[in-house]
Structure 1
Amino acid sequence: MTAVPEEQPAWRQRAVERSTRAAKLRAEQRVQRFLDAAQELIAEKRTTDFTVQEVVDRSKQSLRSFYQHFDGKHELLLALFEDALSKSAAEIRETAGSQSDPLQALRLAVEMLFEQSLSNPGVERPLFSDFALQLLVKHPAQVATAHLPLHQVFTELVEQAEDAGVIPAGKPRRQASILMQTVMFVAQGNGVPAGSHAAAVSAEEVWQFCLGGLSGVPVRN
């Protein structure tokens, strides 16, 4: 007959859980120090052209500790990218959620994402233009996962606008994806001459273009 293992006393379970929570908190603090150090270097250098050792030195931690949490620099940058996108999603959800008009809510979301995506390495943004495309090419699955919170917000906003009848019914998830890609791509290349067009694009212009695509009504000059 197989012996039934005795259940651990409650005090022992509490002690183990407390120890686990403390270890998790210390790990989270170490990770945040690495992220903060990398963000400071990006702001100072206005580029992601820094070394892992610089991050380690800035964070006042060890190289061994860095590699306990990250496989390398690309994973650190991906963590920054994912963290910033998550914050962006939360900000957009909160601001858009304050609007009773679903079309106005969607408009605010588009304009906020556009402003947040403009190339400015000295400011914390959801997209760091000098490495976002590299991550997309080399780690597409991870980048797609990082975009999920933001994609969910835009999907909900498109669904609400369609339910209210202010835009035609379609495929909300696919529409949200196309919408996000359009806004981010235009923001990253904003101000770059394209043919005879060299003036910077405004958030209002981006919204009008996206609205034309969602509603099926051509945008007129």
Structure 2
Amino acid sequence: MTASPEQPAWRRRAVERSTRAAKLRAEERVQRFLDSAYELIAEKGTTDFTVQEVVNRSKQSLRSFYQYFDGKHELLLALFEDTLAKSANEIREAASSKSDPLRALRLAVEMLHERARPGPDVPRPLFGGFALQLLVKHPSQVAAAHRPLLTVFAELIERAADAGVIAAGRPRRQAALVLQTVIFAAQAHGVPSDGHAEPVTSEPVTSEEVWRFCLGGISGIPPTGRPATA
């Protein structure tokens, strides 16, 4: 059997350049769709927009949209993942500026709580109703979307344990519980908190309260025998 001749180096380089260029164009088009959706969310304060509105704002075609997304649901999922990934990067960068591992963890908890609270900022609506719908219908996708945040918090918890300011445990499991607590606390402003039937909205849960609660859950008694403080 005769082996096929090897492709010339110049041809391989030309194909690689063409592939890179096509990939960059695709990434730019996808980002324009995402940016347009973010703008619509910021204006409306909700994810109640149509695919056509996104297409019109992006100045691209409907056909192009469906080359990259199956529909609005997949676009929203992409926005959800993008928001969480950006939040993870911002939290990691901010926490890295703190030399004290417990203060770094506190900053991470408080930053996440602020970003997850309902409000006019662009990313926040994605933590609300849409996130809850995803959790029920697509739990595996929600888990994948939260992975960057989970990794950041697990690293911070492990760092604090290594420094002896909290008891050693299971960092990723502890991080998962912290994420669930912080995000739910940020979204649950309408949940009664004093035993009465009427929701308590005059005094929302603060970031400091959330931090103290999480600290009590993950700190225990460190090897030094002294309670963790921050």
TM-score range, shorter chain: over 0.9
> Counterpart amino acid of 1:107?
R
CA contact (8 A) 2:38 2:122 kept: no
CA distance in 2, matches of 1:26, 1:116: 31
CA contact (8 A) 1:48 1:130 kept: no
Aligned twin of 1:188: 187
Aligned twin of 2:118: 119
- Measured after TM superposition, the shift of residue 191 of structure 1 is 5.8
CA contact (8 A) 1:43 1:121 kept: yes
> Counterpart amino acid of 1:13?
R
CA contact (8 A) 2:45 2:125 kept: no
CA distance in 2, matches of 1:126, 1:165: 38
CA distance in 2, matches of 1:113, 1:126: 14
Structure 1 position 89 matched with structure 2 position 110: no
Q: 1:113 to 1:141 in 2, by over 3 A?
A: same
User: Could you report, residue by residue, the CA deviation over 1:146-192 in whole angstroms, capped at 9, with x for unpaired residues?
Assistant: 11111001001111111111111111110000001100000011365
Aligned twin of 2:219: 215
Aligned twin of 2:207: 203
- Measured after TM superposition, the shift of residue 121 of structure 1 is 4.5
Aligned twin of 1:104: 103
State the secondary structure of the residue aligned to 1:49.
coil
Give TM-score, length-normalised by structure 2.
Answer: 0.89
Q: 1:127 to 1:103 in 2, by over 3 A?
A: farther
- Measured after TM superposition, the shift of residue 73 of structure 1 is 0.6
Identity %: 73
- Measured after TM superposition, the shift of residue 123 of structure 1 is 2.7
Q: Which moved more, 1:124-133 or 1:31-40?
A: 124-133
CA distance in 1, matches of 2:120, 2:144: 23
Please give the residue correspondences for 1:47-196 in structure 2 after superposition, counting only pairs within 5 Å. 47-125=46-124, 127-190=126-189, 192-194=191-193, 195-196=195-196
- Measured after TM superposition, the shift of residue 103 of structure 1 is 0.7
- Measured after TM superposition, the shift of residue 41 of structure 1 is 0.9
Q: 1:121 to 1:5 in 2, by over 3 A?
A: farther
* Count of residues in correspondence between the two structures: 217
Structure 2 alignment gaps of length 5 or more: 222-226
Structure 1 alignment gaps of length 5 or more: none
How large is the RMSD of aligned CA atoms in angstroms?
Answer: 1.7
Q: Which moved more, 1:124-133 or 1:175-184?
A: 124-133
Q: 1:115 to 1:122 in 2, by over 3 A?
A: closer
CA contact (8 A) 1:117 1:125 kept: yes
CA contact (8 A) 2:33 2:58 kept: yes
Aligned twin of 1:20: 19
CA contact (8 A) 1:121 1:128 kept: no
CA distance in 2, matches of 1:5, 1:116: 57
CA distance in 1, matches of 2:175, 2:54: 36
CA contact (8 A) 2:158 2:171 kept: yes
